[in-house]
């Protein structure tokens, strides 16, 4: 099948990338870690720049031509190649800039690089989407998975090629290798445990809300109010009572309950996770066809049998949707809890803000964004997997 | 079998059901009917305790229903409702097996039973066992709803407008199948409907309700012949003679020796084979109806091709278990004086003529001893 209209999404991505390559600074050279830098353009990266430019031109071209399958493969591969090419060019640019500069000079990644990468991601995504749309003719799901793998390989090669390790972000990482991965772990642990607690409290609360209108009003009302409290205010509110509790009961203190640190963080995060989970559990159960419930009762199912064999399986996709929303929310708010002394990726952000070191902020922010995206995709896939076959659309 | 004794249901100040006393004998179909809000569904739902009566007693098989555990009581009473309520996340086999699973049957037994029931309700097990409710038409879902109610072979079936949500043609067919199944299984059935034709066709006894009270409880014939008051008379309608036809299956009055011919090459051959009537049914080697022939046209010099009409059995024939009323309305609709009777396989088994319909009406009136003249000449047939 020939497609007549050009792929608008891919064209948007390619335009963003093109403008960024031509007009925005690829990197800035700063005399030291904190000083203002001087912007440098892509043109200084040298001959390796040919790779991203070529990829970009092919992407622009292939947005107009071919069957959906051919176009999908062309866009996916050029998107991936563009990401790799940018990484190589950045390494090469960083090498050439630092060669002429002082030892304490730093190369920071410029807006042009970020936006080119964003454009490349859009191109690759539109190609991936086109392949998913044509289904089997776009290759099996496993074939499509090659593109993300290929991206990682190219990025690895770019790192190995050198130059990237001298970019300021990598230098900040290099200084903090020993604390970075524990911080990622702590971040995941705090968000994950709070999400689990939210699930353990939220699902039963949602079930009760679906059964009883009083519980519903109170539960949805309270969790709604919690959601409107700014996270920083919530953490502040928790400090005093927790500190008092800890002081009054030594056993609690020994268990680690204190006004600052992980305890208030976990309580606040659990409360934030409740609203999407309670609401979606309630809505999922309330949306079950009353005729189905009546038939179940009339055939002699007990309340528990009806709940676990019929209502919950039917509500499960919505419950998971709530868990997904909660997970993305928690990954973000966990960063804020670094302010009350919970050590996690948020610590880098606030440290960076304190030192006015933008690359340190990025060292905290970028992994948080990545974690949120991974949680989002992972839980969406899980929600699809738990959707019963008979109710799956298409 | 089922005995309701002074059963009352009160919601605040309103009486939904008022001192209802009703007996349903074993193997009988009792149809509860009345205008909406008359308490018929409430009555049905009190029998399986989905609604608790305010007062009164309900005995099922000589046991007080209120003394049994509600879940166990319901598992012993088949339950089918208008909106069907199939479980969307389970396939057809699992949907039919809901009650057997609650009763702890083993898997092979549940599968065999599901197959058996699909065949009983006229669906091919190979094709339907693994389908999901979202892949079924309304009529198929209703059939599976009935199969599910029958799954654990309960002696009692409770049905709340089970054919209410399908189109008239399908409803007619489902009613015919239900009547056939009931002749086979002899369940004790309590059936709620607001469709008087359905009630007359399926009931052994009809309970007409109004404002929570039982107005008349009798056989369909008795209710047609001697309604107790104006309400029942109005409810049954002015076309009572015609309604009586609903009670008579086509197979009771059909002519089992219709004029039949095989399709032959020339007009002479076909004319030789056909003597008696103007229209002749054409069948193939297996006796399946393929069309009919107009002798008048053939004699008038038309070619065989012109005098032939191809038949779609669904359009120009009725099933043996269809009601005489349906046969009559089909004849009137098509402008025919007779209509073919065709088995589910397509085989021609007889024909019904306007004359035989008229005969059936007179018969039943004679049988009931009711006056004939005022009902037949009042324009009911127009």
What confidence tens digit (pLDDT) does each residue in A315-333 have? 999 999 999 999 999 999 9
What does the domain layout of chain B look like in residue ranges? 2-238, 251-364
Helix (H, G, I), strand (E, B) or coil at B81: strand
- Taking phi first (over 0 means left), then psi (-120 to 50 degrees means alpha), and beta for anything else, what does residue B284 get? beta
Q: Is the pLDDT of residue A224 over 70?
A: yes
Domain A8-168 fold is: Butyryl-CoA Dehydrogenase, subunit A; domain 3 (1.20.140)
The pLDDT assigned to B157 comes to: 95
- Say if CB B13 and CB B54 are below 8 A apart: no
Q: Is the dihedral of CA B226, B227, B233, B239 positive or negative?
A: negative
% of residues, chain A, pLDDT over 90: 41
Closest approach of A302 to chain B, Cα-based (Å): 6
Partners of residue B158 in chain A, C-beta under 8 Å: 298
Return d(Cα A230, Cα A333) in angstroms, integer: 10
Return d(Cα B286, Cα B280) in angstroms, integer: 17
DSSP B229-294: SHHHHHHH-S-HHHHHGGGSBHHHH-BSS--EEE--SSHHHHHHH--S-SEEEEE-TT-BEEEEEE
Return d(Cα A114, Cα B187) in angstroms, integer: 75
Closest approach of B25 to chain A, Cα-based (Å): 22
Return d(Cα A68, Cα B161) in angstroms, integer: 51
Q: Is the pLDDT of residue A158 over 50?
A: yes
Eight-state DSSP code of residue A110: P
**Chain A residue with Cα closest to B150:** A299
Eight-state DSSP code of residue A139: -
- Say if CB A296 and CB A279 are below 8 A apart: no
- Say if CB B261 and CB B273 are below 8 A apart: yes
**Chain B residue with Cα closest to A393:** B134
Residue contact A295–B84, C-beta within 8 A: yes
- Say if CB A159 and CB A165 are below 8 A apart: yes
Residue contact A295–B158, C-beta within 8 A: no
- Say if CB B293 and CB B279 are below 8 A apart: yes
Residue contact B85–A293, C-beta within 8 A: yes
- Band of the pLDDT at A72, cuts 50, 70, 90? confident
- Say if CB B351 and CB B281 are below 8 A apart: yes
Partners of residue A314 in chain B, C-beta under 8 Å: 88-89
Chain B interface residues (partner A, CB cutoff 8 A)? 48, 50, 70-76, 79, 81, 83-91, 98-99, 102, 132-134, 145, 148, 158
Classify strands B279-283 and B289-294 as parallel, antiparallel or unpaired: antiparallel
Helix (H) or strand (E) holding A313: helix A312-336
- Say if CB A124 and CB A75 are below 8 A apart: yes
Q: Is the pLDDT of residue A138 over 80?
A: no
| Spans of chain B below 50 pLDDT | 366-382
Residue contact B88–A390, C-beta within 8 A: yes
Tell which residue, A187, A172, A223, has the closest CA to residue A336.
Answer: A187
Classify strands B55-60 and B63-64 as parallel, antiparallel or unpaired: antiparallel
Return d(Cα A243, Cα B3) in angstroms, integer: 69
CA distance readout (Å), A307 to A291, A293, A301, A348, B29 = 14, 9, 9, 45, 34
Q: Which of B76, B102, B134 sits opposite A301 (nearest CB)?
A: B102
Exposure string of A206-229, with b = 16+ CB inside 10 Å and e = fewer, is bbbbbeeeebbeebbeebeebeee
- Say if CB A344 and CB A337 are below 8 A apart: yes
The pLDDT assigned to A141 comes to: 67
Return d(Cα A252, Cα A254) in angstroms, integer: 5
- Band of the pLDDT at A146, cuts 50, 70, 90? confident
Residue with tokens 């091709």: B305
The pLDDT assigned to B104 comes to: 93
Count of residues in chain B: 382
- Band of the pLDDT at A136, cuts 50, 70, 90? low
Closest approach of A305 to chain B, Cα-based (Å): 9
Residue contact B75–A299, C-beta within 8 A: yes
Which pair of structure tokens corresponds to residue B144? Answer: 């599976």
Partners of residue B48 in chain A, C-beta under 8 Å: 298
Tell which residue, B219, B241, B82, has the closest CA to residue B146.
Answer: B82
The pLDDT assigned to A133 comes to: 76
> What CATH architecture is B251-364?
Roll (3.10)
Return d(Cα B42, Cα B192) in angstroms, integer: 10
Q: What is the pLDDT of residues A77-101, one digit of tens each?
A: 999 999 999 999 998 888 888 888 8
Tell which residue, A145, A144, A165, has the closest CA to residue A155.
Answer: A165
Q: Which of B83, B88, B98 sits opposite A299 (nearest CB)?
A: B98
Residue contact B85–A389, C-beta within 8 A: no
- B2-238: CATH, from 3.40.50.300, 3.40.50.720, 3.40.50.620, 1.10.287.130: 3.40.50.300
Residue contact A310–B87, C-beta within 8 A: yes
Number of Cβ within 10 Å of residue A110's Cβ equals 23
Residue B344 phi/psi, 5-degree rounding, is -60, -30
Q: Is the dihedral of CA A219, A225, A231, A237 positive or negative?
A: negative
A26 versus B293: the higher-pLDDT residue is A26
Partners of residue B99 in chain A, C-beta under 8 Å: 299-300
- A177-393: CATH, from 1.10.3720.10, 3.40.50.720, 3.20.140.10, 3.40.50.300: 1.10.3720.10
The pLDDT assigned to A355 comes to: 87
Q: Which of A300, A314, A391 sits opposite B102 (nearest CB)?
A: A300
Count CB pairs under 8 A between chains A and B.
75
Closest approach of B225 to chain A, Cα-based (Å): 36
Partners of residue B83 in chain A, C-beta under 8 Å: 289, 291, 294
Residue contact B85–A302, C-beta within 8 A: no
Lowest mean pLDDT among A241-245, A334-338, B90-94, B204-208: A241-245
Helix (H, G, I), strand (E, B) or coil at A142: helix
Tell which residue, B155, B1, B141, B26, has the closest CA to residue B78.
Answer: B155
- The angle formed by the CA atoms of residues B304, B306 and B307, to the nearest 5 degrees, is 65
Number of Cβ within 10 Å of residue B245's Cβ equals 23
Q: Tell me the CA end-to-end span of chain A in Å, nearest whole number.
A: 22
Exposure string of B15-37, with b = 16+ CB inside 10 Å and e = fewer, is bbbbebebebeeebbbbbbbeee
Q: What is the pLDDT of residues A348-392, one digit of tens each?
A: 999 999 888 888 999 999 999 999 989 998 888 888 888 888 777
Return d(Cα B205, Cα B189) in angstroms, integer: 10
Helix (H) or strand (E) holding B350: strand B348-353
Residue contact B85–A314, C-beta within 8 A: no
What does the domain layout of chain A look like in residue ranges? 8-168, 177-393
Residue contact B71–A300, C-beta within 8 A: yes
Residue B31 phi/psi, 5-degree rounding, is -100, 125
Return d(Cα A31, Cα A98) in angstroms, integer: 10
Closest approach of A213 to chain B, Cα-based (Å): 20
Q: Is the pLDDT of residue A190 over 80?
A: yes
Q: Which residues contact A331 (CB under 8 A, 6 or more apart)?
A: A187, A191, A368, A371, A372, A375
**Chain B residue with Cα closest to A290:** B85
The pLDDT assigned to A342 comes to: 84
Exposure string of A338-352, with b = 16+ CB inside 10 Å and e = fewer, is bbbbbbbbbbbbbbb
């Amino acid at each position: 099948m020939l497609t007549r209209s050009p792929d608008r999404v891919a064209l948007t991505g390619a335009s963003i990338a093109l403008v960024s390559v031509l007009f925005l600074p690829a990197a800035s050279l700063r005399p030291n870690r904190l000083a203002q830098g001087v912007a440098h353009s892509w043109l200084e990266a040298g001959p390796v720049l040919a790779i991203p430019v070529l990829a970009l031109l092919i992407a622009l071209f292939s947005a107009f031509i071919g069957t959906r399958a051919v176009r999908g493969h062309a866009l996916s591969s050029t998107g991936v190649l563009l990401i790799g090419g940018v990484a190589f060019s950045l390494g090469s640019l960083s090498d050439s800039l630092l060669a002429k500069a002082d030892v304490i000079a730093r190369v920071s990644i410029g807006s042009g690089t970020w936006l080119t990468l964003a454009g490349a991601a859009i191109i690759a995504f539109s190609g991936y989407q086109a392949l998913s749309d044509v289904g089997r003719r776009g290759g099996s799901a496993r074939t499509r998975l090659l593109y993300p793998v290929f991206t990682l390989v190219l990025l690895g090669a770019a790192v190995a090629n050198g130059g990237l390790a001298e970019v300021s972000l990598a230098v900040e990482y290099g200084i903090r290798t020993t604390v970075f991965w524990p911080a990622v772990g702590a971040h995941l642990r705090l968000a994950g445990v709070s999400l689990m607690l939210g699930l353990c409290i939220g699902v039963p609360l949602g079930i009760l809300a679906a059964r009883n209108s009083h519980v519903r009003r109170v539960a949805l009302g309270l969790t709604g109010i919690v959601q409107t409290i700014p996270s920083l205010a919530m953490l502040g509110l928790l400090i005093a009572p927790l500190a008092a509790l800890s002081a009054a009961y030594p056993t609690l203190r020994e268990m680690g309950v204190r006004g600052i640190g992980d305890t208030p963080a976990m309580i606040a995060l659990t409360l934030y996770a409740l609203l999407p989970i309670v609401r979606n559990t309630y809505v999922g159960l309330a949306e079950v066809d009353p005729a189905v419930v009546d038939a179940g009762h009339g055939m002699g199912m007990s309340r528990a049998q009806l709940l676990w064999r019929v209502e919950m399986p039917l509500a499960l996709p919505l419950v998971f949707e709530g868990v997904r929303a909660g997970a993305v929310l928690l990954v973000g708010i966990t960063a804020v809890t670094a302010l009350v002394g919970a050590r996690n990726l948020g610590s880098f952000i606030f440290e960076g803000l304190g030192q006015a070191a933008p690359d340190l902020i990025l060292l905290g922010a970028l992994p948080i964004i990545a974690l949120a995206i991974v949680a989002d995709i992972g839980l969406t896939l899980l929600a699809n997997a738990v959707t019963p076959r008979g109710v799956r659309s298409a | 079998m089922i005995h309701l004794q002074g059963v009352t249901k009160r919601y605040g100040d309103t009486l939904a059901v008022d001192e209802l006393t009703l007996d349903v004998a074993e193997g009988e179909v009792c149809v509860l009917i009345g205008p909406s809000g008359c308490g018929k569904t409430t009555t049905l739902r009190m029998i399986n305790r989905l609604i608790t009566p305010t007062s009164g007693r309900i005995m099922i098989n000589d046991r007080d229903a209120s003394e049994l555990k509600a879940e166990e009581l319901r598992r012993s009473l088949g339950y089918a409702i208008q909106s069907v309520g199939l479980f969307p996340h389970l396939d057809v086999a699992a949907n039919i097996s809901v009650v057997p699973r609650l009763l702890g049957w083993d898997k092979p037994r549940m599968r065999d039973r599901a197959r058996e029931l699909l065949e009983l309700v006229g669906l091919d097990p190979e094709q339907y066992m693994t389908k999901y409710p979202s892949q079924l038409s309304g009529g198929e879902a209703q059939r599976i709803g009935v199969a599910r109610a029958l799954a654990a072979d309960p002696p009692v079936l409770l049905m709340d407008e089970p054919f209410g949500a399908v189109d008239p043609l399908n409803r007619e067919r489902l009613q015919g199948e239900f009547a056939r199944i009931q002749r086979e299984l002899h369940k004790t059935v309590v059936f709620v409907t607001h469709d008087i034709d359905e009630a007359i066709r399926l009931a052994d006894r009809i309970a007409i309700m109004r404002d929570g009270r039982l107005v008349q409880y009798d056989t369909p014939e008795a209710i047609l012949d001697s309604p107790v008051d104006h309400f029942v008379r109005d409810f049954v309608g002015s076309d009572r003679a015609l309604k009586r036809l609903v009670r008579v299956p086509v197979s009771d009055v059909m002519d089992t020796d219709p004029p039949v011919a095989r399709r032959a090459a020339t007009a002479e051959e076909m004319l030789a084979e056909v003597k008696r009537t103007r229209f002749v049914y054409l069948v193939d080697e297996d006796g399946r109806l393929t069309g009919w022939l107009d002798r008048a046209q053939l004699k008038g010099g038309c070619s065989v091709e012109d005098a032939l009409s191809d038949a779609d059995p669904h359009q120009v024939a009725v099933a043996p278990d269809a009601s005489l009323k349906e046969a009559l309305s089909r004849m009137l609709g098509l402008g025919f004086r007779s209509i073919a009777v065709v088995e589910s396989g397509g085989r021609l088994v007889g024909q019904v003529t306007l004359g035989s319909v008229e005969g059936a009406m007179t018969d039943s009136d004679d049988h009931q001893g009711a006056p004939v003249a005022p009902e037949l000449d009042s324009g009911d047939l127009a």
